[in-house]
C-alpha cells in the first residue's frame, strides 16, 4: 500500500518522534523472543517490549488526533517509510549480543526515565497522562538494564570485554538524545516539552554510576551520529520496517 503523508505540525512531529522511539525499541526487544539467555530473561525482555509497544500505541493515537487527518496508530506505524520515521538512531541499532541490547536499554532508559518524569508536568494533558504511565515502566527498564550492565561488566573477563565493546559501539549515538531543533524549541516554549539539555546531568550521573559499579570506563564524547529525528537513519531501520510493515503492505487496506 502506498505510504501516507503526515501533515507535521510541531506537536505532531514531536509526538511522532517519541512514538517511533518506543515502537522501534519495542520491536527490537520483541526480536529476542525465544532467544533470551535464560527463561526468566525471556519474560523480562517481553515485559519491556510490551511496555514500549504500549507507549507507542498511546503516542501514535495522540499524534493521529493532533494531526486530525484520520490516521490511526496502525496507519502511522505501518504506512510511513524510513525517511518519515523520526526515532533516535540509538534505538534502531541491531540487538547484537545481550550486552549490546542491555547497554542500549540502559543508555535509552537513563534518558527516558527522567524525561517522562519531567513530562508529567507538561502543559499538554494527554502527554502528561502518557508520561505518568511511561515513567513507571521506564523506571523498571532502567533498574533492569542497570543491574545487567553491572553484572556483565563485573562478571567474567568475556562479559566485561563484550560490554565494554557494546558501550564503544553505542556511545556515538548518545549525543542525539540531547539534540534540539525548531520543533523542540516551539514545544519547549509552549510548556509542552522539557528541554533535553536539562536532563543531561542526570543522564550522565546515572550512566556514570552504573558504569562505575560495572567496572567499565565511560567513553569520551567523540563525534556524535545524528539524523534520526529528521529521517536520516542508519541502514538498519529499513530492514526493521520491511519486516514490521510486511502484512499491511502485502494486503493493503484490510482489517486485522
Footprint on this chain of other proteins (rule: CB under 8 A): 23, 27, 30-31, 33-43, 46-47, 49-50, 53-54, 56-57, 60, 73-74, 77-78, 97-98, 150-152, 154-156, 158-159, 162, 243-244, 246-248, 251, 254-256
C-beta of 10 vs 49, nearer to other proteins: 49
| Nearest-approach distance from CB 142 to other proteins, in angstroms | 19
Rg (CA), the chain: 18
| Nearest-approach distance from CB 223 to other proteins, in angstroms | 31
C-beta of 13 vs 163, nearer to other proteins: 163
| Nearest-approach distance from CB 205 to other proteins, in angstroms | 23
C-beta of 1 vs 190, nearer to other proteins: 1
| Nearest-approach distance from CB 85 to other proteins, in angstroms | 15
C-beta of 51 vs 124, nearer to other proteins: 51
C-beta of 100 vs 199, nearer to other proteins: 100
C-beta of 98 vs 116, nearer to other proteins: 98
| Nearest-approach distance from CB 70 to other proteins, in angstroms | 16
Three-class secondary structure assignment of the chain: CCCCCCCCCHHHHHHHHHHHHHHHHHHHHHCCCCCCCCHHHHHHHHHHHHHHHHHHHHHHHHHHHHHCCCCCHHHHHHCCCCCCCCCCHHHHCCCCCHHHHHHHHHHHHHHHHHHHHHHCCCCCHHHHHHHHHHHHHHHHHHHHHHHHHHHHHCCCHHHHHHHHHHHHHHHHHCHHHHCCCHHHHHHHHCCCCCCHHHHHHHHHHHHHHHHHHCCCCCCCCCCCCCCHHHCCCCCHHHHHHHHHCHHHHHCCCCCC
The three cell numbers of residue 95 are 540487538
| Nearest-approach distance from CB 56 to other proteins, in angstroms | 7
Amino acid at each position: 500500500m502506498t505510504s501516507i503523508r503526515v501533515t507535521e505540525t510541531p506537536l505532531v512531529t514531536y509526538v511522532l518522534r517519541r512514538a517511533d522511539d518506543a515502537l522501534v525499541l519495542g520491536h527490537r526487544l520483541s526480536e529476542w523472543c525465544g532467544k533470551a539467555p535464560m527463561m526468566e530473561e525471556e519474560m523480562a525482555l517481553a515485559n519491556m517490549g510490551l511496555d514500549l509497544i504500549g507507549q507507542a500505541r498511546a503516542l501514535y493515537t495522540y499524534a493521529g488526533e493532533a494531526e486530525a487527518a484520520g490516521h490511526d496508530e496502525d496507519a502511522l506505524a505501518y504506512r510511513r517509510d524510513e525517511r518519515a520515521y523520526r526515532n533516535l538512531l540509538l534505538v534502531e541499532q541491531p540487538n547484537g549480543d545481550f550486552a549490546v541490547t542491555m547497554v542500549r536499554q540502559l543508555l535509552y532508559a537513563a534518558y527516558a526515565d527522567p524525561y517522562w518524569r519531567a513530562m508529567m508536568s507538561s502543559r499538554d494533558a494527554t502527554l502528561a497522562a502518557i508520561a505518568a504511565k511511561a515513567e513507571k515502566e521506564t523506571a523498571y527498564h532502567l533498574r533492569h538494564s542497570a543491574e545487567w550492565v553491572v553484572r556483565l561488566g563485573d562478571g567474567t573477563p568475556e562479559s566485561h570485554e563484550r560490554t565494554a565493546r557494546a558501550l564503544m559501539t553505542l556511545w556515538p549515538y548518545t549525543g542525539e538524545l540531547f539534540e534540539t531543533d525548531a520543533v523542540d524549541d516551539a514545544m519547549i516554549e509552549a510548556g509542552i516539552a522539557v528541554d533535553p539539555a536539562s536532563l543531561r546531568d542526570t543522564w550522565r550521573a546515572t550512566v556514570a554510576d552504573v558504569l562505575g559499579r560495572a567496572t567499565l570506563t565511560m567513553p569520551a564524547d567523540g563525534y556524535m551520529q545524528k539524523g534520526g529525528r529528521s529521517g536520516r537513519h542508519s541502514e538498519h531501520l529499513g530492514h526493521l520496517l520491511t519486516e514490521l510493515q510486511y502484512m499491511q503492505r502485502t494486503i493493503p487496506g484490510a482489517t486485522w
